[in-house]
Amino acid sequence: GENVEQHPSTLSVQEGDSAVIKCTYSDSASNYFPWYKQELGKRPQLIIDIRSNVGEKKDQRIAVTLNKTAKHFSLHITETQPEDSAVYFCAATDRMDSSYKLIFGSGTRLLVRP
Amino acid sequence: GAVVSQHPSRVICKSGTSVKIECRSLDFQATTMFWYRQFPKKSLMLMATSNEGSKATYEQGVEKDKFLINHASLTLSTLTVTSAHPEDSSFYICSATGLAVLSYEQYFGPGTRLTVT
């Protein structure tokens, strides 16, 4: 089955700087890679996702890149703001029958210092 | 669209009792629902996958007789923690996918915080 590793576990940046979180996956058949933001005690919220037929996707200050050959994908947040502080999880699909179960990385706690 | 609710949001129970958690898709038919457990400062760990009308598929290490999952309709799945013990205290989150939404994307419920005393 799929295994997802995520680094770093914690990340502290100054407001306005960029933040990069990296993930690797093991199953070359995985084809969907979402990123979630989770605030304390809340549900994970999808912030961006990418499919295996695309190398990069951007949505305002957030971008995701995917390297299928190396089996890694990254989240890039530019011009960070204090409200970006949260835990971020990457995930990869593990196809099971007609559904796609997600395997999550271990999470990155991002702190944006004002 | 694609809203998922969970009930209750918080529950405290005594050791040895059973607790039922409901997960509902409010505006779409959820053909598949997933149940996760999240311990403090940890990641989401998939417990099981349930498809409407069939038995749930449990992840390795998850006791199916302890965590009973029922997905009797296209809008409701329930997780029952039987004979709960303090080590079962955790944040339980469901998610759902369906025919009317992208099959890849999962929509998460708000979670249920279970405390077993």
> Could you please report the per-residue DSSP string of A26-46?
S-TT--EEEEEEE-TTS--EE
pLDDT at B89: 97
Tell whether B102 is within 8 A of chain A (Cβ).
Answer: no
| Partner-chain contact A102 B46, CB within 8 Å | yes
| Partner-chain contact A105 B43, CB within 8 Å | yes
Chain A residues contacting B via beta carbons under 8 Å: 32, 34, 41-46, 49, 51, 89, 93, 96-107, 109
pLDDT at B1: 66
Q: What percent of chain A has pLDDT over 70?
A: 95
Q: In A, which residues are within 8 Å of B106 by CB distance?
A: 34, 102
Question: What is the DSSP pairing of strand B76-81 with strand B30-38?
Answer: unpaired
B109 closest CB neighbour out of A43, A46, A101:
A43
* Gap between the Cα atoms of A62 and B74, Å rounded: 34
Q: Tell me the backbone φ, ψ of residue A82, rounded to 5 degrees.
A: -55, -35
Nearest one of B24, B7, B45, B83 to A4, comparing CA atoms:
B45
| Partner-chain contact B43 A101, CB within 8 Å | no
Count of CA atoms in the C-beta half-sphere (13 A) of B11? 25
Give Cα separations from B6 to B11, B35, B68 (angstroms).
Answer: 12, 11, 16
- How do residues B83-97 score in pLDDT, each as one tens digit? 999 999 999 999 998
Task: Provide the pLDDT confidence category of residue A112 given band limits of 50, 70 and 90.
Answer: very high
Q: Which two tokens stand for residue B71?
A: 């997905």
pLDDT at B8 over 70: yes
Tokens 């576990």 identify what position? A9
Omega of the bond leading into A8 within 30 degrees of 0 (cis): yes
Tokens 């700087």 identify what position? A17
